[in-house]
Amino acid sequence: MLNVKSPKTKQSADEKTDREHKLHLGRQLVAVGLHRDRQAFTEVYDYYAGRVKSFLLGKGMNEDTAEELMQEIMLIVWRRAESYDPSKAAASTWIFTIARNRRIDYLRGNSRIEVELDDELLESETPERDQAQLVLDAQNAKRLEQAIEALPIEQRQVLHLSYFRGKSHGAIAAWLDLPVGTVKSRIRLATQSVRAQLIDTDRDDIL
Amino acid sequence: MTAISHHISDETLQDYAAGTLNHELEVVIACHLTLCPACRSRSAMAEAFGGAELSGCTPSPTTTSAADLLNRLDDAADSYSTEPPESTKPVVSGDGINQVPMPLQRLLPTTLDKLEWKRLAPGIKQHNLSDRHRKEGAFKLLNLSPGVVLSKHTHHDRELTLVLQGSYQDEIGRFKAGDIADFGDDVMHQPVVDTDKPCIALIATMSPVRYSGMFGRIIQPFVGI
Ligand SMILES: [Zn+2]
């Protein structure tokens, strides 16, 4: 039912290699944006195309549609690579948002609604009490993944159903036959503990 | 903008990041995110969860290689070389100053101060933003006069309320411009407009609101704050 990897199955050397590889792919994505580098795109494609397809299949799409939509998504990655900013997000997050948005366009026929960055009402000043900002850049992506892997299985299951099976928290509750409040509290606990771990790790770096 | 004190819940931000909400709820969320840097940062983390799920998943076999894709791009020549046009800015017949975030302004025929309202009940006006049947949920602006008290009610399933102007108070607290009310069906509340200015709020639901009380049953099809 769930395709959740055990956190203990990987050697730390592998994890280091894996992390290096993902950072490398982030740099390759930047190279695609800067130089239309085909070799760099091929590496990004080889890693993400099959995963994007899994994401689409996981949401109940048939094989042919998923293959076709995956190609469209990877074309968007190619065309928009110059707008990827590794200081703002990991490559995986950037590609995830493109895949998510393209899937919504396809299923719904109207675009996902997001903040418009040139909105004159865009408030950029962060209140003082919220200044402990998280940095979710490419460097931090692996920490985030480790923090997620360290979550209790019932919290990871809720994340997986949400992002990969396309279920809202209400639908997750119905599917798992749990009260909505239980699902909400799992989401809140997962969010809080990952956030806390990322902030703690940042402090360790400063000390 | 004064400090925002009521924010989007973790579970709603997760649903938004995962892409499981409807268009109407997305509009309300994008409006709050425009006004609230704290929730924008939380939203970025919710999206990073999605990125981590993506890179941690098992890849499926694909029938197309990167070379196939790029070769096809060459064959199609210029048709892929330009970005699709950005969605066009709305023509606003007012004085050109946005009083509401763009995701909402795009849906309005004019600026907020020139908007036409339909009277529902004494002190209660609405501007409907949806052509859906009300059984499929509400999407509208509500304009409540000073002193208006709504019937006690709970919210069925999913409902978001974003205050755009003025304020109201209920059992949970005081909701001012920029504040969002994001509660499930476990909260019974009775909003009261608590200043001498009208309270204008944007409301979206997945399904209708349920009112208790007689007045509530009469206005139930129209109101949802
Ligand atoms: Zn907020």
Q: Residue A33 maps to which CATH number?
A: 1.10.1740.10
Please give the tally of structural domains in chain A. 2
pTM comes to 0.86
Distance from CA of B66 to the nearest CA of A (A): 5
Residues A19 and A101 in one domain: yes
Among A112, A140, A158, identify where a domain stops. Answer: A112
Q: Two tokens at B75?
A: 């064959």
Task: Examine residue A30 and state whether it is found in any structural domain, yes or no.
Answer: yes
Identify the segments of chain A with pLDDT beneath 50: 1-2, 4-10, 205-207
Task: Examine residue A141 and state whether it is found in any structural domain, yes or no.
Answer: no
pLDDT tens digit sequence for A46-68 = 999 999 999 999 878 999 999 99
Report d(CA B20, CA B43) in Å as an integer.
Answer: 14
CATH numeric code, B90-223: 2.60.120.10
User: DSSP class of residue B206?
Assistant: S
Residues A166 and A105 in one domain: no
In this predicted structure, what is the pLDDT of residue A166? 86
Task: Examine residue A41 and state whether it is found in any structural domain, yes or no.
Answer: yes
- The domain in which residue A190 lies consists of 150-207
Give the side-chain half-sphere CA count within 13 A for A131: 3
β-strands B139-144, B174-175: how paired?
unpaired
Among A54, A89, A112, identify where a domain stops. Answer: A112
Task: Examine residue A137 and state whether it is found in any structural domain, yes or no.
Answer: no
In this predicted structure, what is the pLDDT of residue A70? 97
> What ipTM score was computed for the predicted complex, to two decimals?
0.87
The band of B183, judged by pLDDT with boundaries at 50, 70 and 90, is: confident
For residue A159, the tally of other CB atoms under 10 A from its CB is: 25
Q: Give the largest Cα separation in chain B, rounded.
A: 67
Q: Which residue has the tokens 């703002």?
A: A88
Cα dist from B143 to B6, B90, B116, B209, B223, whole Å: 20, 23, 11, 17, 10
For chain A, give the mean pLDDT: 85
How many residue pairs bridge chain A and chain B with CB atoms within 8 Å of each other? 229
CB–CB of A141 and B51 under 8 A? Answer: yes
Distance from CA of B34 to the nearest CA of A (A): 5
Residues A105 and A154 in one domain: no
pLDDT tens digit sequence for B18-73 = 999 989 999 999 999 999 999 998 999 999 999 999 988 999 999 999 999 999 88
Task: Examine residue A24 and state whether it is found in any structural domain, yes or no.
Answer: yes
Q: Two tokens at B183?
A: 């509660």
Residues A95 and A166 in one domain: no
Residues A106 and A196 in one domain: no
Residues B143, A156 contacting (CB under 8 angstroms): no
Q: Residue A184 maps to which CATH number?
A: 1.10.10.10
pLDDT tens digit sequence for B184-210 = 777 778 889 999 999 999 999 876 444
Q: Two tokens at B98?
A: 């946005």
CB–CB of A92 and B47 under 8 A? Answer: no
Residues A31 and A80 in one domain: yes
Q: Two tokens at B225?
A: 């704050």
Report d(CA A32, CA A12) in Å as an integer.
Answer: 30
Residues B198, B154 contacting (CB under 8 angstroms): no
Report d(CA A124, CA A113) in Å as an integer.
Answer: 19
Measure CB to CB from residue B34 to each of A119, A136, A144 and give the nearest one. Answer: A119
Tell which A residues from 101 to 120 touch B, by Cβ distance under 8 Å: 101, 103-104, 108, 110-116, 119-120
Comma-separated ranges of CATH 2.60.120.10 domains in chain B: 90-223
